Structure 1
Amino acid sequence: MKINYKLFTLPIIVLLSLVYISFLFSSEIERLKSKIDNIYFGNFIPVHKLHIIKEEYNKIILDNKQYIKSKKIIINNWNYYNNQYKSEQERKVVKKIDNQVKKSFKKRNTQFYRYIIKQIDLLIQYEVESAELERKNFLEQYDKINNYLFYNQIFIITFIVIFILSIILVTVKNNNKMEYLVDKYKSDSITDGLTGLYNRKYFDNILDETIAVSKQNNWTSVFVMIDIDFFKQYNDTYGHDAGDIALKKVSSILDTLFNQEYDYVFRLGGEEFGIIVFDIDIKKLESRIQILQQSIASQKIQHIASKTNFLTLSMGVVAIDQNTYNLTRSTIYKLADKKLYQSKEHGRDQYTI
């Protein structure tokens, strides 16, 4: 059986799933990185700067000669700290102390310096508590992200597994159906005694199954009805023995050209033949029919009662697709016969779809 083209969607889905997972990982990891930056660079480094400021204020209290040097260090470190990212709540706390730090250099009062040191201690404690809270929030969010990624991976893997299983089940079901068809009619009772092709009884069963299987899989399959042109005249001219030889030659060509898996060639009766092909593009079918015409022509089977002086075939083709799924076997057969008649009406040695 030909592989359903829908199977090609499987690797695409797998690929998209992998891309999706990769995108999730990269985006969430980037968010984690931002959180880590906020913790370390938004809290730990500013705390270090606050300790330096506190130490410099203590130096001024112990030795007023350190004032100019310490003032410069305090201002530089405080500006660094003050310019760091702050939340709205942090900004309110820092703004108050910022005014006091600036005021301390105007007052130059030891008592006020000690007050500033206490404020700096409170600020350090506030920063440490903020860092702890940030870490707590970070860990909670990290757990959420882990769960989010885990459940998404489970969902994707489950979806892929279900999809693959459904494809396998459909494929196995269809293969079993086709194998059943082959096994069910694999006996002498389904072949024509003269040509060795499948007979009309087998044709009736296969055409019914062709309609059902094509509809189930949304395939385009075809039934080709073939008739040897002016065959009665051929028998009258050359005799029935020669007619049987001609039938065998045509049968052999049909059997050779339509020998792919699930190509079915039948002798429907007399000089009439049939071909059923599952799941085929109409253009490809036309190419194969044209090769059939060329092969018959290359045999140069003499037929003086024919307009071409050689034996030729006329054909009628019906596509078993969305337009004909609901038709009966009898109706499809009649449609093919009608197309065959049109080929004969228009000069024979041709096909009509």
Structure 2
Amino acid sequence: MANNLNYRLLALPIVVIIAMLGLSFLFSQKIQILKKEVDLIYFGNFVPVHKLHLIQTKIINKIDTNKISSKSKKIISKDWKEYNKQYKTISEKIILKKINIHFNKALKTNKKKYYKVILKDILYLIKHEVTSASVQRKKFLLKYQQMQNYLFYSQMSIIVFVIILMGLILYQFLQQQRRLSLLNEQYKIEANTDGLTGLYNRKYFDTIFDDLTSISQHNNWNSVFVMIDIDFFKQYNDTYGHDAGDIALQKVASVLEMSCDRDMEYTFRLGGEEFGIIIFNASVNYVKTILKTFQDNILQLHIEHSSSATKMLTVSMGVVLIDKTTYKSSPKELYISADKKLYHSKENGRNQYTI
């Protein structure tokens, strides 16, 4: 579930960015189409210029004769009217109104001097049309470039915003996942740990103890299970109280944990005043050294116990060796064997271990 959510979070900014790029591409295409249309309009502005050139040519060709025929005047008049029908601004209409007077006068009088005036007017109009078209196109190109820049920076801003937003969302998600992971680890620790002593609990002991023989046999190891019991602990609780008993359990657990601090050495609280040790791949001499050190450290705690023969709190232990002779033994058989050896230690004066 978490992996699927991770993929979705990673996919989301990619999808958003692709969508934004797609929209930007479509918008760019529209702008390009608009530019082409404006270019057509720009070149379309040369249509009236073409008309003016036709009129100019016809007048020049006929003016040398000092007289333009009625047929030519009709053609020139028609071309002029078509030119006038083109879109004109208010200022252009005012100019054309004056030129129309010259034009009508020239056609009416059919005199060369008036046609020369018209030619000057036509040259002016041609220059005006070309200049106007060029200025309008420059203005559009400027706006077009501004629009392109606006689109680019908007696109980049959106992408950066999306990346930052998704980064924050992803960061918060990862932080939440980290907290959940820590809580999960804490839960696992609490689920497998005894609340009072901090050692592994009986549930975790059962998990490892059930596989003790199979792991040892698979690796051809000699392993050990030690069952530990605090001597006369019921009497200790009766004499000093349960609070003192809890403190004593914590101190014994602390010493036990310090005594077995290597890899493949596990310490447990099995319940009440009972503790356990499982050591993988250990020799008998090594186990004896650990147990002797553990006993000495317990005595060095100097926990008073008036009901004990030593007047100090002590422990008794039963040790089971797991080797080739016991690989086929069941967990229950091993546990019973350790319990019997623990009982033997108690019967023989306590404060000792039996292997």
The normalised TM-score by structure 2 is 0.47
- Structure with higher Rg: it is 2
